[in-house]
């Protein structure tokens, strides 16, 4: 059950132990509290939850057994009803701060559901998160506007800081939802947040630490939340997944209280913020400085990332591959958060194109469809290609830009493995999604880096398997066979070795020996150091350790295996030369 937020005010003017400027104010506040309490109790629970903390607590208890989706639906209904006819007073502010603690827990559960959920459910969950950000943020704004109008005014700095902090928090959530969808932040957001931060600075509450519902009772500052919003928006390049965006937000929360927005420019490289512009943080180098320009030094953030990297390197108890992924992600974040980050040039010049193609995302889907293609199911894909559903609009020998409309981008996230085939082409090509952008009119754009011009679906078995390997096509779903893709040659695509495999993350380990059955022979393959670790897949070179005849096993169909039986036998040479 959600309780009252630590530090939540009982009324605008503070507790009875605080020194009050006028006795009349104390009496008015006491009467407001008393009337609201009596009204709520005599209504038999029918009063709106935001009339008093008593009714809020009762409402929370009544809805405690609902799941997160149902609780959020009920909560938004109450918030929407309050916003339509707000009663702004001391009691409703106190009740709202209690309700926001519960709202945050519900938002956290829905976010976890979204990050781990299926594509069909994700769209509804994301909309609910966006609605929560807008409506609850609008309630905070109602209290802020009432304060500015003096009806009633918030007399205690900590209470004003909590209201302003709530506005920044829910703007931050709106921004994260947009980044989840690969949308850019709304340009008007920068002027709105800048004006509010200026107001908080003028009121002297921008660095006042107050208890925040989203920090589980820990303290937070308006300045820290604003810095979190600004830095997170730097990841709007379309090259970060929703999971990475959420993890980055958590990382920023851990050190946001040490970030400072200052009017004086530091001597070293830093960020600049022009409050009158429609963009967020920019490099301070060459920026036109005015008396309104603010500067943000990211050094505390880099120090925190450096500490996290050291902790991961010192922890040798976990999976080595998982540690490598975490280290690579933190290093990539640090690069993106550099004030003067360098743009990596394209490996080849792109040319305009208009080529319809078919796309298959994900290792499992690619493996299944390639096997179907080998069984003469290619006519389906040729028909789909002619529909123009996916089109290459810009291409080079090493990468391409693909556009499509009216389709979710969730099945093509950054880091996803995709296979692509043009109409009438004999071979499928394979690549990795490096960038996703969403434009007006439901148009989605993918930036894809090609890693091979040919791919074959194969099955591998652990080298220590003792059971008889069944004939291809008869494996049960729980078979010991490992799903894998064989890349016979990268062609002119550097810098990968000429023969590589793509396996599931759970099936890969450097140095692991696996068996490939081809005709009447067993090929023993040893996996090398990972070339790349993607979303659930690992790209690895391999070496042929040896070849032996099968004893007592049924002969496998070489057609569906896709790998030649005449691979050269050798330790490292087979992994480098075709």
Cβ distance 33 to 25 under 8 Å? no
pLDDT attached to residue 225? 95
Residue numbers of the domain that contains 26: 1-155
Token pair for 192: 């709105």
**Same domain membership, residue 365 and residue 406:** yes
Domain-embedded: residue 221: no
- Dihedral sign for Cα 38, 41, 45, 49, please: positive
Domain-embedded: residue 339: no
**Same domain membership, residue 378 and residue 520:** no
Per-residue DSSP letter, 554: P
Region for 562 from its dihedrals, namely left if φ exceeds 0, alpha if ψ lies in -120 to 50, beta otherwise: left
**Same domain membership, residue 85 and residue 11:** yes
Say what the pTM is: 0.79
pLDDT attached to residue 547? 76
Q: Answer with the one of 155, 184, 204 that is the final residue of a domain.
A: 155
pLDDT attached to residue 535? 80
Domain-embedded: residue 438: yes
Domain-embedded: residue 260: no
Judge whether residue 13 has pLDDT over 80. no
Cβ distance 173 to 133 under 8 Å? yes
**Same domain membership, residue 132 and residue 88:** yes
pLDDT attached to residue 374? 55
Judge whether residue 91 has pLDDT over 50. yes
Q: Which helix (H) or strand (E) holds 33?
A: helix 23-42
**Same domain membership, residue 557 and residue 411:** no
Q: Which helix (H) or strand (E) holds 78?
A: helix 68-84
pLDDT attached to residue 150? 87
Judge whether residue 202 has pLDDT over 80. yes
Coil, helix or strand at residue 446: strand
* Distances, alpha carbon 329 to alpha carbons 152, 172, 207, 312, 556, in Å: 48, 22, 30, 12, 41
Domain-embedded: residue 60: yes
**Same domain membership, residue 474 and residue 487:** yes
Indicate the burial class of 479 (C-beta count within 10 angstroms; 0-12, 13-18, 19 or more).
middle
**Same domain membership, residue 536 and residue 561:** yes
Q: Answer with the one of 136, 155, 174 that is the final residue of a domain.
A: 155
Work out the pLDDT band at 45, boundaries 50, 70, 90. very low
**Same domain membership, residue 448 and residue 357:** yes
pLDDT attached to residue 44? 43
Cβ distance 482 to 512 under 8 Å? no
Q: Answer with the one of 118, 133, 155 that is the final residue of a domain.
A: 155
Return the higher-pLDDT residue of 578 and 340: 340
**Same domain membership, residue 538 and residue 392:** no
pLDDT attached to residue 52? 85
**Same domain membership, residue 559 and residue 461:** yes
| Angle subtended at Cα 257 by Cα 255 and Cα 263, rounded to the nearest 5 degrees | 115
- Count of C-beta atoms within a 10 Å radius of residue 284: 21
**Same domain membership, residue 495 and residue 419:** no
CATH for 412: 2.40.10.220
Domain-embedded: residue 333: no
**Same domain membership, residue 505 and residue 374:** no
Structurally, how many domains does the chain consist of? 3
d(CA 509, CA 230): 39
Domain-embedded: residue 318: no
pLDDT attached to residue 470? 52
Domain-embedded: residue 480: yes
Per-residue DSSP letter, 18: S
* Helix ranges, 289-319 (H): 299-314
């Amino acid at each position: 059950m959600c309780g009252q937020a630590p530090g939540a005010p009982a009324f605008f003017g503070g507790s009875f132990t605080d020194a009050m400027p006028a006795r009349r104010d104390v009496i008015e506040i006491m009467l407001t509290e008393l009337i609201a309490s009596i009204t709520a109790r005599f209504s038999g629970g029918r009063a709106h939850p935001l009339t008093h903390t008593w009714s809020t607590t009762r409402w929370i208890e009544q809805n405690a057994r609902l799941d997160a989706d149902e609780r959020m639906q009920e909560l938004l209904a109450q918030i929407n009803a309050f916003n339509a006819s707000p009663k702004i007073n001391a009691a409703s502010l106190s009740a709202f701060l209690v309700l926001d603690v519960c709202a945050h827990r519900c938002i956290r559960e829905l976010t976890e559901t979204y990050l781990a959920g299926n594509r069909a459910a994700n769209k509804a969950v994301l909309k609910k998160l966006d609605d929560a950000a807008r409506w609850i943020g609008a309630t905070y704004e109602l209290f802020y506007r009432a304060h500015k109008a003096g009806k009633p005014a918030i007399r205690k700095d900590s209470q004003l800081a909590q209201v302003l902090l709530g506005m920044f928090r829910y703007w931050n959530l709106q921004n994260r939802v947009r980044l989840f969808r690969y949308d850019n932040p709304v340009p008007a957001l920068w002027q709105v947040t800048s004006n509010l931060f200026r107001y908080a600075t003028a009121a002297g509450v921008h660095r006042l630490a107050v208890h925040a519902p989203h920090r589980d009772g820990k303290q937070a500052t308006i300045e820290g939340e604003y810095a979190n919003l600004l830095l997170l928006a730097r990841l709007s390049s379309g090259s970060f997944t929703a999971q990475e965006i959420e993890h980055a937000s958590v990382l920023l929360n851990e050190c946001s209280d040490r970030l400072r927005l200052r009017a004086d420019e530091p001597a070293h490289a830093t960020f600049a913020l022009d409050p009158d512009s429609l963009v967020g943080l920019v490099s301070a180098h060459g920026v036109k400085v005015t008396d309104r320009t603010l500067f943000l030094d990211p050094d505390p953030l880099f120090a925190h990332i450096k500490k996290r990297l050291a902790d991961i390197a010192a922890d040798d108890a976990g999976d080595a591959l998982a540690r490598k992924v975490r280290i690579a992600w933190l290093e990539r974040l640090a690069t993106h958060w550099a004030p003067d980050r360098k743009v990596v040039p394209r490996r080849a010049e792109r040319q305009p194109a208009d080529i319809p193609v078919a796309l298959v995302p994900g290792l499992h889907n690619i493996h299944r469809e390639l096997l179907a293609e080998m069984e003469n199911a290619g006519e389906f894909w040729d028909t789909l290609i002619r529909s123009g559903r996916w089109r290459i609009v810009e291409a080079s020998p090493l990468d391409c830009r693909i556009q499509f409309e009216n389709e979710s981008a969730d099945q093509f996230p950054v880091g996803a493995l995709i296979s692509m085939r043009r109409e009438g082409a004999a071979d499928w090509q394979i690549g990795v999604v490096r960038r996703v952008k969403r434009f007006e009119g439901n148009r989605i754009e993918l930036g894809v880096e090609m890693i091979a011009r040919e791919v074959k679906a194969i099955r591998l078995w652990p080298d220590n398997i003792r059971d008889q390997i069944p004939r291809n096509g008869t494996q049960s779903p729980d078979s010991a066979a490992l799903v894998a893709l064989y890349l016979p040659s990268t062609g002119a695509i550097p810098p990968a070795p000429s023969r590589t495999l793509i396996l599931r993350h759970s099936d890969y380990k450097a140095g692991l020996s696996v068996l490939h059955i081809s005709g009447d022979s067993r090929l023993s393959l040893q996996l090398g150091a990972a070339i790349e670790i993607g979303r659930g897949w690992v790209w690895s070179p391999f070496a042929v350790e040896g070849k032996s005849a099968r004893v007592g096993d049924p002969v496998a169909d070489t057609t569906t295996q896709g790998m030649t039986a005449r691979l050269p036998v050798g330790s490292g040479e087979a992994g480098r030369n075709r």
